[in-house]
Amino acid sequence: MPTRSVVRIVSGRPASDGAGVQLFRVMGTADLDHVDPFLLLDEFRSDRPDDYLAGFPDHPHRGFETVTYMLAGAMEHRDHAGNRGLLGPGSIQWMTAGRGIIHSEMPRQQDGLMWGFQLWVNLPASHKMTAPRYQDIPSNRVSTATVDGATVRVLAGESLGLHGPVVGIVTEPLYLDVALAPGASFRQVLPPEHSAFVYVFEGEARVGEPASPLKRGSLAVLGPGDSVLVSAGDAPARLLLLAARPLKEPIARYGPFVMNTRAEIAQAFQDLQNGTFLS
């Protein structure tokens, strides 16, 4: 099969979430609702405490997974069951909300740079009411390799003979953080049946064949093929490369819930109100 080409490019837009955290929303917008099974991608990056200190106080989720990847700063999560974890630079948390969880994500710094990403990944109907679970993975458990000017952190899936520490995810995701030196290129094999996209968060990159230029803050949805080629020009570039098995199921989403029907969304709100959400 051919190398994947870019079929769509979108730019993120400023947004606010939680208790007023300022962020940059790239997916989950009117321009790009989702790339099945990916539902949302936010980048948060600020050295202004007022942009992030309010954090994300207690809130519920059901029916999907949230993925937090930190580049700088510290974020603490807690949930209704007493689970607690601290995410620092280079760490990743893959949280499967399943049938229901109430948790918070709060900054653990008073100043300095807070930088990272939150990704939402859908669950199939057969797994939406599964038991919640966390995979909290510190930076030193993320394998990294450098080949021909490309430094790749493997968060999930496989690349350059390395396996990511995130395991047991039903959509079989690939999640790579790729840093390219000037003039460097990197090719990644992808399952032909998987959806895939690239998000550039530093510099500019060329993506696909034929190559499409992608500026910082832009996301490229990839077409069919069994690999993708990314390269940098005269300056360094850094990007996220993600792929996963699409679910091809109806999506009903409202606020913190993602189900298959509007009736299931209404049931989630009813469960939350009558005290049966966590049972």
Listed by start position, the domains of the chain span 6-274
pLDDT digits (tens, 9 = 90+) for 240-255: 999 999 999 999 999 9
Sequence-distant (6+) residues with CB within 8 A of 195 are: 35, 36, 37, 38, 222, 243, 244, 245, 246
Q: In a 3-state reduction of DSSP, which class is residue 273?
A: helix
Amino acid found at 173: P
Cα gap 269→74, rounded to integer Å: 31
More confident residue, 117 or 82: 117
pLDDT digits (tens, 9 = 90+) for 36-47: 999 999 999 999
Structural tokens at position 10: 């979108």
Sequence-distant (6+) residues with CB within 8 A of 1 are: 192, 224, 225, 226
The CATH classification number of 6-274 equals 2.60.120.10
Sequence-distant (6+) residues with CB within 8 A of 126 are: none
Q: What is the rounded average pLDDT of the residues 165-174?
A: 97
Phi-psi region of 99 (alpha: psi -120 to 50; beta: other; left: phi over 0): alpha
pLDDT at 279 over 80: no
pLDDT averaged over every residue in the chain: 96
